[in-house]
Amino acid sequence: MATASVSFKSREDHRKQLELEEARKAGLAPAELDEDGKEINPHIPQYMSSAPWYLNAQRPSLKHQRKWKSDPNYTKSWYDRGAKIYQAEKYRKGACENCGAMTHDKKSCMERPRKTGAKFTSMHIAPDEKVESFELDYDGKRDRWNGYDPSTYSRVIEQYEAREEARRKYLKEQQLKKLEEKNGKNEEEEASSEEEEDEDKVDEAKVDESKQMDFAKVEKRVRTTGGGSTGTVRNLRIREDTAKYLLNLDVNSAYYDPKTRSMREDPMPDMDPNEKFYSGDNQNRLSGQALEFKQLTVHSHEAFEKGQDIHMQAAPSQAELLHRNYKIIKEKLKSQTKDTIVEKYGNAASDEALPRELLLGQSEREIEYDRTGRIIKGQDMSLPKSKYEEDIFINNHTSVWGSWWKDHQWGYKCCHQTVRNSYCTGSAGIEAAEAVNDLMRANIARKEASDEKPVQQEEKRLATWGTEVPEDLVLDKKLLADALKKEDERKKEERDERKRKYNVKWNDEVTAEDMEAYRMKKIHHDDPMKDFLN
């Protein structure tokens, strides 16, 4: 309902007005017209259709709902980039001291600073720029595409189309080159009938490029029914191939998602892999660059958790470079570890054949011995040697180190020496060592047989003040009681300094009774009964 200014209505007029509004809403009565002759929707609420009183509306209207504060000065035009308005021939007062233009000063000049400005040379005066000022509305100030020329994007499209055209031409040349090489080989080997078939293949390859490369073409449809633009790629598959959702019609087989056109599992897992051309979409995830990208992502996450400043989305080039260096260092460490193990333990998988003595420890060579054990016929089997030195005698020794053992010590068997790299003394050294041992055993036995006891020295009792206490020392009980009283008085003075006299007489003569009283009154901190004293 749209009404004019509020006026008094009787009850009957108000009832008729309500009936008319109901009829308009039901479509039985024509809609109300505004000032411009346009119909007003009868379903608009009254609080929206009623004009404010200060507008003094004489007829029903919806003008008060429209934007009436429209500024005619608002514009959507943009600056004329690079436009010049005037070219001066000499320097003008107030112009830029560097280039000579009037539209800016020396501080705002965008030209290269000249060695001598135009103010002093009056040469090469720069033209004045076209300075414009626009009063943009709310949307114009926030439009980031304001002033953009869409025609400039055609250069980007032309660049990509030229690149795609060059790629198609290169692929076509490579295909023709391969077919011609194959044709030349077959001409030398096969008969004339086969040569004609190869020529037909070359002729088929020389068809129109627009038809041959049609499957690599991308067609764009703009303003579709769903809105926006879509791109359809025609090189999806050959139409004669069976669709992947028709390979296995079993309901419990691999699931096909019609929305994304994906079938992750293998629809025919029991089929020979050499005969089937489709093994599920998961095969693509575990092969090619998909697997490399997965490893790169895992490496970036692990490196970030260990404190490396790396992010796969923020700096992909850095992440790929770090992953490449990581693989190189890992392979180098692996090869170093392998070489170290092979160098230390040998390589059982190498092509070098091991000696027969090391493999079996025996051979089929016939050797004949006499009664004394000497070889009559054949050659004695050589014992395999280790990497350590063997049968090398030093310092006149006739046996190696470790050929003799006694009392948890290794030594030389020839001289019973337990010091390594010592000079061999022969049988004389053995006799001298035995004589030393006999003498040592005799000394031990003689010491055990002697019952001499060590002289015990008497312990001296020290006095409490640090002197020796004579045996006949006797403390006087009366003097000891006096000393205890003096010690009590001295401790009272220490607790209360007010009782200390001004003239203090000091006596440094300490008697045995004084020392005994001090010892008796002294508090021992480790005494459990110290709290009960005094």
3-class SS of residue 187: helix
Per-residue pLDDT tens for 448-498?
888 665 555 554 444 445 455 566 677 888 888 888 888 888 887 777 766
| C-beta separation of 516 from 487 below 8 A | no
**Poorest-pLDDT segment among 78-82, 318-322, 431-435, 454-458:** 454-458
* Cα–Cα distance measured from residue 102 to residue 87, given in angstroms and rounded to the nearest whole number: 10
| C-beta separation of 126 from 99 below 8 A | yes
| C-beta separation of 199 from 183 below 8 A | yes
| C-beta separation of 50 from 94 below 8 A | no
- More confident: 369 or 143: 143
| b/e map 102-129, b = 16+ CB within 10 Å | bbbeeeebeeeebeebbbeeeeebbbbb
Letter for the amino acid at 374?
R
| C-beta separation of 21 from 1 below 8 A | yes
pLDDT on residue 500: 64
Enter the tokens of residue 251: 């309901």
Per-residue pLDDT tens for 132-186?
888 888 888 888 888 888 888 999 999 999 999 999 999 999 999 998 888 887 7
DSSP characters for 447-479?
HHH--PPPPPPPPPPBPTTSSBPPTT----HHH
Residue 77 neighbours by CB distance under 10 Å: 11
